[in-house]
Amino acid sequence: MNDTALEQDIYLFHEGNLRYSYQLLGAHRDRQNGEEGIRFGVWAPNAEQVSVVGPFNDWDGRKHRMERVNDEGLWFAFIPEVDKGMIYKYEILTPHGHLRLKADPYAFSSELRPDTASKVYPLDDYEWKDKEWMKDRQSRNIYESPISIYEVHLGSWKYIEPEVFYNFREYADMLIPYVKEMGYTHIELLPIMEHPFDRSWGYQITGYFAVTSRYGTPDDFKYFVDQCHQQGIGVILDWVPGHFCKDEHGLRRFDGEALYEYANPSKAEKTQWGTLTFDFARNEVQSFLISNAIYWLKEYHLDGLRVDAVASMLYLDFGKEDGEWELNEYGGRENLEAVSFIKKMNEAIFEEVPNCLMMAEESTSWPLVSSPTYIGGLGFNYKWNMGWMNDMLKYMETDPIHRKYHHNLITFSLFYAFSENFVLPISHDEVVHGKKSLLNKMPGDYWQKFANLRAFLAYMYAHPGKKLLFMGGEFGQFDEWKDLEDLDWELLDYDSHAATKRYMEQLHLLYREMPSLWELDHKEEGFFWIDAQNYEQSIVSFVRNGRTSQDQVIVVCNFTPEVYHDYKVGVPKQGSYKEVFSSDAEHFGGSGQINGVGLDTVPVPWQGQDQHITMTIPPLGVSFLKRTSANKEEDHEE
């Protein structure tokens, strides 16, 4: 890096506008005075002295002291004898005269826990082979494409033994064929940044730029993503910019003072989680976080980030009691600095990685989360639909006898379904800490639990919005998620679980082959009710539209165990309809109450439509119907 470029990067870093600060700071191969070595850089404005220490100097801070290059606290050092794989830390002399050993905030790799040193690991040794995927991604319309996400915690998907995990390359060999077989379009990984405590699931981070050593090296993770792309699978990563853990070797009071966190404890403390909030107003922290998002998207070719706990960033009183927080300058509870940062972050990300996915886990009714910043939005392009998730799980947990009293829970989401670009999430948070597994939430006997699960999943895939399902749900895991054990794969030896897995495979096939189920996900013309009012029988019916008249599907859902023969359903077009998918088919474990012959329309108005069909409504079942032929007059008109 020449002096002019270095000065420019330093200026942008302190302005909060250096989008690639990980190229300035951290440990990088360099050549100085004819010698090959590693250049180290760190931001520690309050430090009296900073040294690089490790086995190469017997952890002696007197041997490789860093040079402070400006008043804003950037320190650099060049060490010839250090190369890839060497471990190191920064020894920091605080303003109070204490020596602290800190991991590098910009390290690309770390020691395996419980050890905490950073590792030198240049990122330019891997040769990518996903050019076709990356090229196609540039022109892909993500809004009008099928997106079905398999959410995975690698360490408990499969492991060698408790606390001993497979390598990313081994997971690639096992997980990718499974995801392809199931029919998902994307894998979403719980955070794989370096974290000290397994049971934080990666959400309490110490190394924001470091791939966790639990599963291998940065190159191993690149291989995993590369293989996903070559097999047609996108990769989304959970990302946690809202808070960080307090472990001594991490970011907390990095140079002896509050640096990455707010100095004001009422803003810094996340008492609910025992973590610290980033100081979103500090320019260098903005450069750190924005660079971190871009780093994962660019260096690892990721297709998107799911941004964790956005509400905790937006609200000063999130998870706090009265007296534990302070109003903003306008007397409100919004964290105005965080709002400004989020907008700036998203603007930067979409300029650098235009067609990526930025998905907000935002649990409140904050407006325009997935709208551009130029119209006042936060700038994400997707938002998790937590309202739909809460309503539907509450409804499905209700005994079918009482569901008629809660009918609004399955219809209310359509009042706001097009106010944001939504993902329908059934995530890890809903199947842990005593909440029961998705299957075990379902009421009824053994057969009814599986039938309820199939009906719920069919309704989910028919409802507007992209889809996300946590691992284990696809084959009906009976126990809730056990984060210290792997999934109960032995359940697939039992017919009902094997049939549920087969059901999800076929549901995904249907989903991907029917543009009406995803092409107009975010537009009102993609959906209309046929009948949303039949609360007495807990039956709803609706139409999903694609861009052409042929891409239309009628969906009929029955959330009771009653069978109804000769049931009238209004349809928008004349002709003959075929049941192309039924959650009650016998090979899925259903009762076999299917409509095996064509359903011809009767020219008598019903449910607001000009004609209707008469069909069998299966128990706890969902039917997908497509028109297969029309009368001659309509054929001529079309």
Q: Given 279, 308, 337, 486, which residue is catalytic?
A: 308
pLDDT digits (tens, 9 = 90+) for 295-340: 999 999 999 999 999 999 999 999 999 999 999 999 999 999 999 9
Please compute the mean of the pLDDT values over residues 75-97 and round it to a whole number. 96
Please name the residue ranges forming H helices in 116-167: 131-139, 154-157
- The values of phi and psi at residue 176, to 5°, are -65, -45
The pair of structure tokens assigned to 541 is 């019916």
Q: Which residues contact 120 (CB under 8 A, 6 or more apart)?
A: 27, 38, 82, 83, 84, 85, 86, 87, 88, 109
The pLDDT, as a whole number, for residue 81 is 84
pLDDT tens digits, residue range 7-18? 999 999 999 999
What 8-state DSSP symbol labels residue 481? P
| pLDDT value at residue 5 | 84
Residues 517-533, mean pLDDT to the nearest whole number: 97
* Per-residue tokens: 465: 């919005």
What's the confidence (pLDDT) of residue 638? 43
Q: Is the pLDDT of residue 636 over 70?
A: no
Q: Which two tokens stand for residue 359?
A: 């998905």
Q: What is the pLDDT of residue 376?
A: 97
| 255 classed as catalytic | no
pLDDT of 97 over the 60 cut: yes
Tell me the pLDDT tens digit for each residue of 364-375. 999 999 999 999
CB 84 within 8 A of CB 36: no
The domains found in the chain, sorted by start residue, are 3-119 (2.60.40.10), 158-361+387-410+427-517 (3.20.20.80), 524-637 (2.60.40.1180)
Q: Which residue out of 194, 261, 269, 361 is catalytically annotated?
A: 361
Residue 126 has pLDDT above 70, yes or no: yes
Indicate the range of 3-7, 69-73, 446-450, 591-595 predicted with least confidence: 3-7
> Which CA distances in Å does 580 have to 501, 624, 625?
19, 6, 6
Reported as a pLDDT band with limits 50, 70 and 90, residue 633 is: very low
Q: Give the mean model confidence (pLDDT) for residues 202-228.
A: 98
Answer yes or no: are the C-beta atoms of 108 and 94 closer than 8 Å: no
CA distance 5 to 47: 25
User: What is the tens place of the pLDDT at every residue in 239-273?
Assistant: 999 999 999 999 999 999 999 999 999 999 999 99
Task: Indicate the burial class of 71 (C-beta count within 10 angstroms; 0-12, 13-18, 19 or more).
Answer: exposed
Percentage above 70 pLDDT, the chain? 99
Please name which of 513, 535, 514, 508 lies closest in space to residue 526, comparing C-alpha atoms: 514
In this predicted structure, the answer to whether residue 492 has a pLDDT above a threshold of 50 is: yes
Q: What is the pLDDT of residue 1?
A: 60
DSSP 8-state symbol, 153? -
- Verify whether residue 308 is a known catalytic residue: yes
CA distance 411 to 459: 11
pLDDT tens digits for 588-608?
A: 999 999 999 999 999 999 999
**Mean pLDDT score of the chain:** 96
CA distance 152 to 472: 9
pLDDT at 188 over 80: yes
Q: Of 342, 295, 275, whose CA–CA distance to 314 is shortest?
A: 342
Report residue 631's pLDDT band, with 50, 70 and 90 as the boundaries.
low
pLDDT in tens, 563-585: 999 999 999 999 999 999 999 99
Rg of the chain (C-alpha set): 27
Q: Residue range 427-448: average pLDDT?
A: 97
The pTM of this model reads: 0.96
| Spatial separation of the C-alpha atoms in residues 154 and 157, rounded to whole Å | 5
Query: What are 333-366's pLDDT values in tens digits?
Result: 999 999 999 999 999 999 999 999 999 999 999 9
- Angle, to 10 degrees, between the axis of helix 3-15 and the axis of helix 283-299? 110
The CA distances from residue 202 to 44, 206, 208, 493, in Å, are 26, 10, 10, 32
